[in-house]
């Protein structure tokens, strides 16, 4: 008995040892399966602005593990330029995973790559932060010249290729014109329904009865639909030709209206026809509302009665009077006028839309002011775009290009001026109250006269005041023309009297003064303030000025 108990104890101890061994080895195996190795590295810790560094994450784990790498902009403040696909290699039952990130930064300074998180079987593994130094690019100013920032330059719009826009506009107008013709002005062929609608009421009723005979209502035992159409045909005919409200009337009301017309002599129809018509209407009411099913012979008889009623009613109607025919013609003419007016309205609205869209498109591209001046017209715009003339004026001659030919003007000089001036020739176009005025003068002085350019300018200013200029503001500067001629430019603003003291406009003026070829030449231009076209004229005239040396 004791030996038996001892044997049982040994067996229990052995089982306990096996259980402990199983859990021990199991924990070791489990530990080996859940210990992945996660590391990170970069190829450089110092880069220049815009250069890239390679950030690499390496994971070593079991082949069955689920690994998730960082995604998105988790490397801020550095920017992710590119991410490579995961590279995987199996070595000795271990899975090695490698993922690379291309990082960069466009501002100099020291930055930290944030702590990155890698998930292995949903368990997070944190990677250390790495410091990166981004250096600025050093410029050697001894070898690379430094230049000042250039000022803003106003560039004129390029109007080349304008013909393309005209061509596109022409194509668009042609398409719109074709659509208008096709949908508005073209006489469209009538459809079968429209042709039938234009038939006289009697002919249309007979045609609809024929179509009813060809329908499948009776074959499909659709008696309600058959009688509904049958009675609607005769009711519609009575409304159009007899002019009574038949479609909305009950059977008794409709029969009463027909009998009243008969008694009044407006409808010459016999009593037997009215009685037959009433029976058909009553049969139709039973079929439509009481779901009655008539026999084939009754249906056939009712069909003949309806056709007979239409025929007899047509025969019973009196011939239309001349007044009624005239009213009908007037009605048709009124319809034609309405149709014509509708076409005119559609055409007008479409044309206005086309014009509006075209003006808006050109205004958006060229500017609304330019488009307005092109359509309505502008005096100085016409001068800019006209044919210019290059000519020589006076002695010593001054060569200049102008939008119009300058005409010689005879000026009376003061007595003191006659004692100093040998020759004085003046040419001009317009006057200072016009949109644009130009005056060219060439003067020579007598021997021994001490020429003072300032006195000459003052004399011109006094002449402007006599012509209606006031509140003149003076500015001056030395200039050199594109033809390398040096002179004195006097310019500014003023008010010009338009003819009475109460009506004035603001103007700009420019005096170009030169002393060339033994003489004094002066170019004066006056134009209204805010006129951009006049500015173009002034620039072109100024750039064209040249002189011929006098003998």
What are the CA-CA distances from residue 471 to residues 230, 233, 337, 435, 492 (Å)? Answer: 96, 92, 65, 19, 10
Predicted confidence band of residue 15 (pLDDT cuts 50, 70, 90): low
pLDDT for residue 35 is more than 90: no
Top pLDDT among 509 and 25 is at 509
pLDDT at residue 436 in the model? 92
Q: Phi, psi at residue 488, to the nearest 5°?
A: -115, 125
Helix axes 271-290, 251-264, angle to 10 degrees: 170
Q: How would you class 258 by CB atoms within 10 Å of its CB: exposed for 0-12, middle for 13-18, buried for 19 or more?
A: buried
Residue 41 to residue 128: CA distance in whole angstroms: 10
| Cβ(228)–Cβ(211) below 8 Å | no
Helix, strand, or coil here: 61?
Answer: strand
Task: Determine the average pLDDT of the residues in 249-264.
Answer: 87
Instruction: Decide if pLDDT at 510 tops 90.
Output: yes
Burial class (CB in 10 A: 0-12, 13-18, 19+), 313: buried
DSSP 467: T
The strand ranges marked E within 30-115 are 37-42, 46-48, 52-62, 67-68, 79-83, 87-91, 94-104, 109-113
Other Cβ atoms within 10 Å of 277 Cβ, number: 25
Predicted local confidence at residue 21, as pLDDT: 47
- Among 468, 541, 549, 483, which Cα is nearest to 510's? 541
Average pLDDT over residues 342-354: 78
**Residue 324: predicted pLDDT:** 58
pLDDT in tens, 536-549: 899 999 888 887 65
Split at pLDDT 50, 70, 90, the class of 11 is: very low
Phi, then psi, of 139 in degrees rounded to 5: -105, 130
Q: What is the pLDDT of residue 162?
A: 60
**Average of per-residue pLDDT across 491-496:** 91
Site of tokens 């096996």: 18
Rounded to 10 degrees, what is the CA torsion of 274, 277, 282, 283? 150
CATH of 199-316 given 1.10.1060, 2.30.30, 1.20.120, 1.10.287: 1.20.120
pLDDT at 100: 92
What's the whole-number mean pLDDT along residues 44-73?
86
Helices 322-366 and 368-376: crossing angle in degrees, nearest 10, is 130
Query: Residue 8 — very low, low, confident or very high, per pLDDT cuts 50/70/90?
Result: very low
Report the chain's C-alpha Rg in angstroms. 53
In 454-551, at which residue ranges do the beta strands (DSSP E only) sit?
Answer: 469-470, 475-480, 486-500, 503-516, 519-528, 546-547
Out of 38-47, 163-172, 385-394, 483-492, which region has the weakest mean confidence (pLDDT)? 163-172
pLDDT in tens, 92-115: 778 888 989 998 988 888 888 889
385 pLDDT higher than 80: yes
Alpha-carbon span 179 to 194, nearest angstrom: 23
Pick 491 or 483 by higher pLDDT.
491
Average pLDDT, the chain: 79
The lowest-confidence range among 28-32, 300-304, 457-461, 490-494 is: 28-32
Choose between 44 and 145: higher pLDDT: 44
pLDDT at residue 363, as a whole number: 62
**Comparison of pLDDT for 451 and 550, the residue scoring more:** 451
- Residue predicted with more confidence, 22 or 480: 480
Tokens, residue 29: 């195996």
The domain locations on the chain are 1-33, 37-135, 199-316, 379-547
Helix axes 296-316, 201-213, angle to 10 degrees: 170
Confirm whether pTM is higher than 0.75.
Answer: no
3-state secondary structure (DSSP) of residue 127: strand
What b-and-e string marks burial along 8-37, b requiring 16 or more CB atoms within 10 Å of the CB?
eeeeeeeeeeeeeeeeeeeeeeeeeeeebe
Peptide bond into 77 cis (omega under 30): yes
User: Poorest-confidence range of 62-71, 125-134, 154-163, 253-262?
Assistant: 154-163
Residues 6+ apart with CB under 8 A from 448: none
Does 511 have pLDDT greater than 50?
yes
Mean pLDDT value across residues 239-247:
85
CB atoms near residue 429 (< 10 Å): 17
155 vs 489 pLDDT, higher one: 489
Which 8-state DSSP code applies to residue 238? I
CATH architecture entry for 379-547: 3-Layer(aba) Sandwich (3.40)
Residue 147: pLDDT band (50, 70, 90) is low
Q: What is the pLDDT of residue 24?
A: 45
CATH code for the structural domain at 37-135: 2.60.40.10
Tens of pLDDT along 179-222? 777 776 666 666 767 677 778 888 888 889 898 888 888 888 88
What does the pLDDT read at residue 188? 66
């Amino acid at each position: 008995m004791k030996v038996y108990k001892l044997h049982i104890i040994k067996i229990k101890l052995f089982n306990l040892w096996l259980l402990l061994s199983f859990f021990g080895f199991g924990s070791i195996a489990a530990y080996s399966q859940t210990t992945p190795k996660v590391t990170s590295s970069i190829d450089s810790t110092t880069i220049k602005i815009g250069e890239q560094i390679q950030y690499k994450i390496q994971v070593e784990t079991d082949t069955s593990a689920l690994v998730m790498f960082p995604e998105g902009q988790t490397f801020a403040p550095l920017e992710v330029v590119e991410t490579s696909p995961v590279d995987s290699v199996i070595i000795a039952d271990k899975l090695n995973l490698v993922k690379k990130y291309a990082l960069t930064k466009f501002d100099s300074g020291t930055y930290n790559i944030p702590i990155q998180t890698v998930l292995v079987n949903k368990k997070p593994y944190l990677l250390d932060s790495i410091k990166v130094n981004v250096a600025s690019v050093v410029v050697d100013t001894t070898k690379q010249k430094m230049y000042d920032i250039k000022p803003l330059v106003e560039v004129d719009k390029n109007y080349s290729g304008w013909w393309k826009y005209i061509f596109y506009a022409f194509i668009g107008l042609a398409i719109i014109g074709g659509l208008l013709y096709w949908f508005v002005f073209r006489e469209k062929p009538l459809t079968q329904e429209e042709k039938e609608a234009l038939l006289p009421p009697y002919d249309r009723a007979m045609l609809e009865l024929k179509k009813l005979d060809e329908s499948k209502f009776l074959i499909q035992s659709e008696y309600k639909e058959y009688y509904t159409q049958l009675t609607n045909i005769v009711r519609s005919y009575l409304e159009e030709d007899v002019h009574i409200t038949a479609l909305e009337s009950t059977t008794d009301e409709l029969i009463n209206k027909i009998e009243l017309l008969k008694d009044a002599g407006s409808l010459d129809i016999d009593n037997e026809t009215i009685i037959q018509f009433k029976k058909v209407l009553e049969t139709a009411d039973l079929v439509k509302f009481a779901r009655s099913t008539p026999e084939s012979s009754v249906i056939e008889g009712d069909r003949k009665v309806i056709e007979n009623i239409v025929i007899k009613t047509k025969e019973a109607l009196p011939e239309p009077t001349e007044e009624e025919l005239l009213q009908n013609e007037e009605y048709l003419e009124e319809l034609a006028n309405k149709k014509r007016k509708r076409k005119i309205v559609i055409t007008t609205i479409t044309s206005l839309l086309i014009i509006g869209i075209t003006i808006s498109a050109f205004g958006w591209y060229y500017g609304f002011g330019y488009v307005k001046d092109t359509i309505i017209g502008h005096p100085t715009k016409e001068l800019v775009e006209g044919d210019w003339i290059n000519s020589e004026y006076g002695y010593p001659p001054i060569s200049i290009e102008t939008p119009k030919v300058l005409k010689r003007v005879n000026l009376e000089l003061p007595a003191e001026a006659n004692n100093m001036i040998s020759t004085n020739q003046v040419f001009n176009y317009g006057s200072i109250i016009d949109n644009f005025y130009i005056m060219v003068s060439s003067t020579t002085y007598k021997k021994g006269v001490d020429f003072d350019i300032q006195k000459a300018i003052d004399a011109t200013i006094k002449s402007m005041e006599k012509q209606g200029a006031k509140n003149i503001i003076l500015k001056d500067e030395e200039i050199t023309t594109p033809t390398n001629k040096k002179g004195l430019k006097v310019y500014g603003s003023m008010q010009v009297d338009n003819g009475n003291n109460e009506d004035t406009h603001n103007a700009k003026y420019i005096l170009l003064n030169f002393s060339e070829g033994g003489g004094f030449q002066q170019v004066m231009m006056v134009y209204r303030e805010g006129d951009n076209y006049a500015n173009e004229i002034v620039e072109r005239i100024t750039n064209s000025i040249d002189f011929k040396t006098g003998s």
